[in-house]
């Protein structure tokens, strides 16, 4: 596969799709996900890790609420990775990540992830190129470890929004009382670094694609939710899980 060029990928749903139709389909998929999650938990052979990355305001929080909010909370865990604490910085960059990897039977969501350590850190020169490439190799090995040794299905999503949509959403944060809490003073300064972010994301897609990324057109929430729900449903269905029956004495 050639290098993914984000500028060449649409941030919007294909024109022919009908929003209301897709929303109905997503609702059906989510109820199937409920069944599949129950089975995942009951069988407890596999685990699932959903990695969500994207620029500020790409809609990670909303996606978590809409697609995963209706699943059984006993089987879903969410971890939002923030700027590392002093304790976290005292360890290797995967230490805080590995602690949050899913147990068998569980779906774990990463709202941001180990990828921040080769993205935001690179853009802000906290991590040079050589270190970033070493980290990307470590990430590939780490993901392989989870997949191979804990039957973890890893789904990686990049929520792909346009600069224009991001700007609209950031401005909305300033005006809308229910969204102001999300606003961060650095948001507009970060948005100006778009070309730098685009480059480091593209490097990441190139180097860390053994477990593939899905680039999700994310300007419209209904389409983004559909794509993620569908990918998860297909991945869970492919596990061919079975209820274990009565426990043996």
Residues that bind ligand AMP (CB under 6 A): 80-84, 112, 116-117, 120-121
The C-alpha atoms of residue 131 and residue 58 are separated, in whole angstroms, by 27
**247 DSSP 8-state letter:** P
Count of Cβ atoms closer than 10 Å to residue 78 Cβ? 16
Q: What's the closest the beta carbon of residue 80 comes to ligand AMP, in angstroms?
A: 6
Binning the chain into helix, strand and coil, the percentages to the nearest 5 are: 55, 15, 35
Q: What's the closest the beta carbon of residue 149 comes to ligand AMP, in angstroms?
A: 24
Count Cβ atoms within 10 A of the Cβ of residue 144 and give its class: 0-12 exposed, 13-18 middle, 19 or more buried. Answer: middle
Binding to Mg ion in span 129-188, by CB under 5 A: 184
**Do the beta carbons of residue 34 and residue 72 sit within 8 Å?**
yes
Q: What's the closest the beta carbon of residue 135 comes to ligand AMP, in angstroms?
A: 10
Compute the residue count for the chain: 249
Nearer to Mg ion, 27 or 174 (CB): 174
For residues 34-51, b (16+ Cβ closer than 10 Å) or e, as one string?
eebbbbbbeeeebbbbbb
Which partner from the list ligand AMP, Mg ion, none does 77 bind, CB cut-off 5 to 8 Å by kind?
none
Q: What's the closest the beta carbon of residue 116 comes to ligand AMP, in angstroms?
A: 3
For residue 108, the SS3 value is strand
- Comparing every residue's Cβ against ligand AMP, the nearest one is 116
Q: What's the closest the beta carbon of residue 215 comes to Mg ion, in angstroms?
A: 20
Nearer to ligand AMP, 137 or 242 (CB): 137
The C-alpha atoms of residue 43 and residue 49 are separated, in whole angstroms, by 17
Stretch of 51-59, 76-84, 107-115, 229-237 lying at the interface with Mg ion (CB under 5 A): 51-59
56 binds Mg ion (CB under 5 A): yes
Nearer to ligand AMP, 32 or 61 (CB): 61
Nearer to Mg ion, 43 or 163 (CB): 163
Which residues of the chain form contacts with Mg ion (CB under 5 A)?
Answer: 56, 184
């Amino acid at each position: 596969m050639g290098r993914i060029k984000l500028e060449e990928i649409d941030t919007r749903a294909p024109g022919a799709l009908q929003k209301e139709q897709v929303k109905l389909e997503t609702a059906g998929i989510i109820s199937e996900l409920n069944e599949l999650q129950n089975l995942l938990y009951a069988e407890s052979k596999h685990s699932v890790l959903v990695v969500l990355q994207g620029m500020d305001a790409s809609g990670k929080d909303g996606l978590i609420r809409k697609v995963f909010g209706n699943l059984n909370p006993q089987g879903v865990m969410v971890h939002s990775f923030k700027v590392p604490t002093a304790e976290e910085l005292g360890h290797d960059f995967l230490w805080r990540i590995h602690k949050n990897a899913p147990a068998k039977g569980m779906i774990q969501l990463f709202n941001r992830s180990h990828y921040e350590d080769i993205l935001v850190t690179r853009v802000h020169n906290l991590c040079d190129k050589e270190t970033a490439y070493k980290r990307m190799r470590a990430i590939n090995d780490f993901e392989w470890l989870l997949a191979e040794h804990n039957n973890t299905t890893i789904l990686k999503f990049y929520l792909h929004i346009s600069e224009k949509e991001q700007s609209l959403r950031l401005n909305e944060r300033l005006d809308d009382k229910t969204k102001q809490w999300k606003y961060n003073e650095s948001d507009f300064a970060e948005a100006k670094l778009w070309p730098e972010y685009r480059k480091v994301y593209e490097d990441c897609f190139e180097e860390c694609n053994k477990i593939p990324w899905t680039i999700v057109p994310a300007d419209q929430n209904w389409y983004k939710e559909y794509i993620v729900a569908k990918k998860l449903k297909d991945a869970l269905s492919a596990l061919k899980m079975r209820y274990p029956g009565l426990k043996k004495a």
